[in-house]
Amino acid sequence: MNTHTQNGFSLVELMIAMTLGLVLATGLITIFVNNRHSFNRDDVLLSMQDDARQAIRELTNDLTMAGFWADLLLPASVVPDGSLAVGTDCGPAAAVDWIYQTVTPGTTQSQSLSTVDNATVASANASFSCIGAEIVPGTDIIAIKRVAGARAPMVLTDDTVYLRTNGTVGLLFQEPAGVPPTVPVPAPFTTWEYRPSIYYIRNFAITAGDEIPTLCRKVLEFDSPPTMVTECLAQGIENLQLEYGLDTNGDGTPNVYLPNPTPAQMQTVVSAKIYVLARSIEADIRYTNEKSYSISNAPLYEPNDNFYRRVFSIVVSMRNLKSLRILGG
């Protein structure tokens, strides 16, 4: 009777088994790493798109309401109350209480829209003194003056700036109103909260030097006195470009789009094209962005870095400015 003794695996068999195990383990690790990278990439892209949509949404809502002065048609009918003051203003250095101006002094030119095309630090501060060195050079700035889309409640909030109008005259004042007011507004009148804003691209998100471009705006914070403060909306917005639709024949329809209209041409604006270049917040070392980006009249941009980017655009109709244009304002 023959007896076979089990002596275990041979060295060759063990080496083959270990090699197969390493190959399988390497394959599983590679699959996991690639899946993890794909998940992170998709998460970064979705975050970038969400920020871009937020930027487009805020700009669209404000531009649509540009030049809305409640029951008043002409911005020149709005007069600031003599007691109205501002802490930090944001207009040209020589302008007094610029944020409360609805028309350029000495003219009937509306200030419902003001812009700087492809701004530098110098040109930004020449028009909007509160921006400082925060601006990303080569991006556009747009200032919008208007009132809220709904009437103020019966009980007004102290320190808030309102427009009171009966459809013929308007008084911009801070609650509680000065007595007597600069411009008496006979009843019946309505009251609307004043909401000016200035949109620009800041060169940081949270801390100066973090190098995350961010869409921000200067808004009027209601205090004693009210002052212009910064409110940031969407991170990773690398460029903002606008083209303005000019109505050259008074029919309310844009005939030509210009990226850098003069103040006189701004009086004929009835629509705008918004271009936003969004960038991912985080870099992907496995990706190199070798694309070229050409937006409006901004210089050709070839980043050659590790960030994802996408251009978003939309056309906005400014119904209040359009109505004023049709009526010959």
pLDDT in tens, 228-277: 999 999 999 999 999 999 999 989 999 999 999 999 999 999 999 999 99
286 inside domain: yes
19 inside domain: no
Q: Return the higher-pLDDT residue of 71 and 271.
A: 271
pLDDT above 70 coverage of the chain, percent: 94
8 inside domain: no
Confidence of residue 32 (pLDDT cuts 50, 70, 90): low
Q: Return the higher-pLDDT residue of 94 and 119.
A: 119
Here the tokens at position 91 are 């207009």
| Per-residue CA distances from 290 to 212, 304, 311 (Å) | 20, 5, 15
Which residues lie below 8 Å from residue 292, measured CB to CB, with a gap of 6+? 300, 301, 302
191 inside domain: yes
Query: Cα(286)–Cα(307) distance, rounded to whole angstroms?
Result: 10
Query: Cα(307)–Cα(277) distance, rounded to whole angstroms?
Result: 12
Confidence of residue 23 (pLDDT cuts 50, 70, 90): confident
Q: Is the confidence at residue 50, as pLDDT, over 90?
A: yes
27 inside domain: no
1 inside domain: no
CB 236 within 8 Å of CB 46: no
Residue 128: give the domain boundaries.
40-326
Query: Cα(195)–Cα(173) distance, rounded to whole angstroms?
Result: 13
35 inside domain: no
Q: Return the higher-pLDDT residue of 38 and 291.
A: 291
18 inside domain: no
- Count of domains forming the chain: 1
